[in-house]
């Protein structure tokens, strides 16, 4: 049998009041469905759904009754701005951009597969594929995702005085689920002559144990990462290994940080607390570091005539204001000790 359904309204928020808990847009909506076949396994000739300027289109075969045999649907979702759907993102610039998502969902054996799926935005594009059993058991789910772009630095947190490199990046994730954990089977990020790799698992609840993620970062050139106002990043390699485990609340700890850099080594532990005002604590030990490549030549020269004009006669501290705004963003307890460290001639 052939059948069609048409639904229109002036406010989706009003139409769904009492049915859903979260906020939905108070925008007009229209839905048109044209299908044929049995109600238990209809062939969807067309689905058009519009909410304001957002739209969803789909076609194919849907088997709504388990085990969903014969399901094979392609879809495309267009959203001009995520802020209308998630008002909490109003201050996020990336959420105000348009996005288009699409892909194919089909049943194969006892698995429901997501294939050739993508999310495209103005600045990036994600590719996905995944699967879950036909009982929709989360422990059976897996997901593979990848993305790449021309400027990986734009996604890094904002640190005063640091300008990240505008360099191409590639990110790939391979995830699966168990009854109590998300399994990170593989994580790989390539950016600015650097490679980050990771694997491990993270608990889905506070009662589950065994959360730990092993990370390794290798960079062939520190200078490729970006620029610092006060320091010159040298063309020197960096290798960092860390094990990330849960901390207090929603924070995390790195109990065994190890870094090979500047011809020396830094070891120790770091913790981060996700409190209203974030907190950071670190206890680090450095051996054999050579700081001389970090200092700009004019700052380390023994020729006082070539020293910056901001250094007054007879003064070590410059007259210019030193920005410490970044320190107001978090609370910190830092302890640093070192031996065999090399510094430049202070030049005074």
End-to-end Cα separation, the chain, in angstroms: 92
Q: Give the pLDDT of residue 306.
A: 45
Q: Give the pLDDT of residue 204.
A: 81
**Res. 59: pLDDT tops 60:** yes
When pLDDT is cut at 50, 70 and 90, the band that residue 77 belongs to is very high
**Res. 211: pLDDT tops 50:** yes
Q: Give the pLDDT of residue 23.
A: 66
d(CA 147, CA 162): 25
**Structural contact between residues 6 and 12, judged by C-beta atoms closer than 8 angstroms:** no
Which bin fits 33, alpha (ψ -120 to 50), beta or left (φ > 0)? Answer: beta
Cα 181 to the center of its chain, rounded Å: 19
- Summarised one tens digit per residue, pLDDT across range 216-238 is 999 999 888 888 776 678 888 99
d(CA 48, CA 56): 6
When pLDDT is cut at 50, 70 and 90, the band that residue 18 belongs to is low
Average pLDDT across the chain, whole number: 83
Q: Give the pLDDT of residue 116.
A: 94
- List, as one string, the DSSP characters of 215-282: EEEEES-GGGGEEESS----S--EEEEEEEEE-STT-EEEEEEEEEETTEEEEEEEEEE-SSS-EEEE
**Res. 73: pLDDT tops 80:** yes
Q: Give the pLDDT of residue 324.
A: 63
- Summarised one tens digit per residue, pLDDT across range 256-300 is 999 999 899 999 999 988 777 888 899 999 999 888 877 655 444
Q: Give the pLDDT of residue 27.
A: 83
Q: Give the pLDDT of residue 3.
A: 82
When pLDDT is cut at 50, 70 and 90, the band that residue 307 belongs to is very low
**Res. 316: pLDDT tops 60:** no
More confident residue, 287 or 178: 287
Q: Find the mean pLDDT for residues 74-99.
A: 86
- Summarised one tens digit per residue, pLDDT across range 330-348 is 788 889 998 988 877 655 4
Residues of the chain with pLDDT > 70, as a percent, come to 85
pTM of the predicted structure, to 2 decimals: 0.75
When pLDDT is cut at 50, 70 and 90, the band that residue 305 belongs to is very low
């Amino acid at each position: 049998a052939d059948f069609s359904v048409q639904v229109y309204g002036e406010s989706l928020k009003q139409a769904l009041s009492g049915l859903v808990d979260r906020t939905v847009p108070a925008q007009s909506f229209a839905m048109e469905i044209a299908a044929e076949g049995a109600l238990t396994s209809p062939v969807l000739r067309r689905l058009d759904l519009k909410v304001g300027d957002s739209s969803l289109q789909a076609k194919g075969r849907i088997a709504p009754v388990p085990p969903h045999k014969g399901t094979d649907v392609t879809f495309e979702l267009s959203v001009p701005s995520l802020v209308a759907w998630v008002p909490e993102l109003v201050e996020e610039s990336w959420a105000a951009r348009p996005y288009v998502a699409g892909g194919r969902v089909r049943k194969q054996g006892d698995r429901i597969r997501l294939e050739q799926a993508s999310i495209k935005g103005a600045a990036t594009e994600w590719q996905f594929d995944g699967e879950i059993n036909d009982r929709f058991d989360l422990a059976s789910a897996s997901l593979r995702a990848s993305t790449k772009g021309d400027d990986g630095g734009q996604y890094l947190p904002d640190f005063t005085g640091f300008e990240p490199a505008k360099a191409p990046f590639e990110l790939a994730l391979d995830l699966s689920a168990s009854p109590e954990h998300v399994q990170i089977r593989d994580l790989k990020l390539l950016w600015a002559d650097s490679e980050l790799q990771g694997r491990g698992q993270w608990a889905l609840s506070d009662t589950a144990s065994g959360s730990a993620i092993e990370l390794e970062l290798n960079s062939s050139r520190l200078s490729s990462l970006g620029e610092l106002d006060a320091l010159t990043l040298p063309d020197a390699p960096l290798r960092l290994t860390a094990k990330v485990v849960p901390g207090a609340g929603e924070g995390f700890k790195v109990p065994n940080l190890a870094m090979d850099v500047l011809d020396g080594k830094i070891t120790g532990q770091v913790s981060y607390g996700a409190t209203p005002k974030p907190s950071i604590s670190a206890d680090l030990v450095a051996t054999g570091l050579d700081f001389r490549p970090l200092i700009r030549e004019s700052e380390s020269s023994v020729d006082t005539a070539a020293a910056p004009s901001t250094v007054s006669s007879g003064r070590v501290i410059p007259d210019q204001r030193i920005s410490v705004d970044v320190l107001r963003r978090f609370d910190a307890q830092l302890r640093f000790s070192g031996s065999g460290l090399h510094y430049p001639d202070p030049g005074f």
